[in-house]
Structure 1
């Protein structure tokens, strides 16, 4: 007697799974409720609920816990979401790749960049791509480092330039450069312009910093530096964008960290003043991150390879900005 097919049979799931159901599930997973997802999808709530139920029946697992007061992905839902995001990214890229299939290199490159990425190697790679292929287009979107990596994992970004907390085994990483963070204050601050300061002079002063300046995040060395300076517990301003951290520092809200090579011009122009410590500054690495499973158009491939070649042929000392 033949064994009845399992509800988890891969062939059955691949045969019966509807792409539209996966697309709906991605939106559901990124939403706060069925109602929220329905609004994003421009559908009625019962239609979205029916789609979720149908998908749960197809995969044989409960995907979202919708008990009273809860709207959370189950373990199966989290697993499916990770895979569905990749599939969603691949489908979106397919139409783009087909549209850009011409004799000329005219594809679009979408780069996710952390706000404090200042790197001549990257700028030179952009120049060379544009000079050789002027019909290729580029968009650079500023994200927090964690969001930049998420964009790459979801195949929405060609690659990312950002800080990295933990390495995702599905992604590839190359160190682009190393920068050093110093502490700075602006013209209204009482320490501005004072010579002969020691780290003890920072004690009790309020601070401005990045959202990732926490012991468990990518700017942990900066957090430890602030603790070493015995600065006050009060953080008067935070942002994920370097430009806004700089704005708050120059406005006198507090002492804050900035990459020394980025702040150099402002220091020279009298907009910022570096305070102790001046030696043994925390080093932070900035990476190129890409998804090897992403099918890239020619412009994306050319720019990424241009950047990787620049990294391989430039000694690390020349990619270390002090």
Structure 2
């Protein structure tokens, strides 16, 4: 049965509680939700408590480290996403009434998009459309996809291993991942290493490097090759994973083109296998059914045309 909260929305519910709840579910963690909202963790916990009391439903279940929405919580999340999607589209409706191409592009992206083609596209787009404002928000792949499904953003750059029914998907970058260690690691500078030399080493990983998540092929690789070391450090940020590898916490996987300067400066050391592990694609994504204004169309059309000028290899520089 669907949860009917129309009376609360009309008379009793603070809409800020819904916004907080959206972030709680997306982060699956109170501390991360508080950091993203720029408030304290007790404030986030209190907001969840107030929402649950107002609706008379338990929305989140906690069992040890498990943090999942209940059936009612999933329904509230769906409704809250629809509400904020409509709010975000108010500006789209108003922009369509103007004569000039103006407006604001909301663009979501994973961290560290390292591509000279991307940089030049942004420069060319701004020259062509100086009255269009651009807001870029950096977040995890799962949150990029969630925002696009809620129709709160024009488009995004994200990992997306499998097609999603409502999202248009075009490969923008193909990144080759390889294994590296840092200057402070015992394997740094050693030549003639084999995969067997790595199996017992501890690992630094991405938080999306879990079975079923966007970088799960890296976890599958470790499992299939028989790695026995622990994951001793992790982060959703590529730059922080790179920093932890450099600091010697463990070995880890990074895109080859991102660390070219680190290798030249001997901050990082390349480990077997010599041909790397696998290719991981970053896709340009947008919602097929989201109403687009002139600014949205100009941005997407320009980016796709610019992408067509260059091969995937050229986009990596």
TM-score of the superposed pair, with normalisation by structure 1: 0.75
Q: Distance in 2 between matches of 1:114 and 1:292?
A: 20
Which structure would you say has the larger Rg? Answer: 1
- TM-superposition CA deviations, 1:63-94 (whole Å, max 9, x none): x4579999986657635642552343123321
| Residue pairs, 1:278-289, within 5 angstroms | 278-279=274-275, 281-289=277-285
**Are 1:210 and 2:206 an aligned pair?**
yes
For the 8 Å contact 2:156–2:284, the answer to whether it is kept is: yes
**Are 1:304 and 2:303 an aligned pair?**
no
Bigger mean CA offset, 170-179 vs 94-103: 94-103
**Are 1:186 and 2:172 an aligned pair?**
no
For the 8 Å contact 1:24–1:48, the answer to whether it is kept is: no
Structure 1 position 201, deviation (Å): 1.7
Q: Distance in 2 between matches of 1:255 and 1:236?
A: 10
- TM-superposition CA deviations, 1:216-269 (whole Å, max 9, x none): 222222223334554443111100000000110111111111000111121112
**Are 1:238 and 2:237 an aligned pair?**
no
**Are 1:265 and 2:290 an aligned pair?**
no
Q: Which residue of 2 aligns with 1:5?
A: none
Bigger mean CA offset, 66-75 vs 148-157: 66-75
> Residues 39 and 255 of structure 1: is their aligned pair in 2 closer, same or farther, counting only changes over 3 Å?
closer
| Residue pairs, 1:1-322, within 5 angstroms | 18=10, 23=15, 26-27=18-19, 30=22, 40=47, 49=54, 52=55, 64-65=57-58, 75=71, 78-79=74-75, 81-82=77-78, 84-95=80-91, 97-98=93-94, 102-227=98-223, 230-279=226-275, 281-316=277-312, 318-319=314-315, 321=316
Q: Distance in 2 between matches of 1:138 and 1:147?
A: 19
For the 8 Å contact 2:157–2:283, the answer to whether it is kept is: yes
Q: Unaligned 5+ residue runs, structure 2?
A: 26-41
Aligned length: 295
Q: Distance in 2 between matches of 1:231 and 1:77?
A: 38
Structure 1 position 290, deviation (Å): 0.7
For the 8 Å contact 1:27–1:40, the answer to whether it is kept is: no
SS of alignment partner, residue 299 of structure 1: helix
TM-score of the superposed pair, with normalisation by structure 2: 0.76
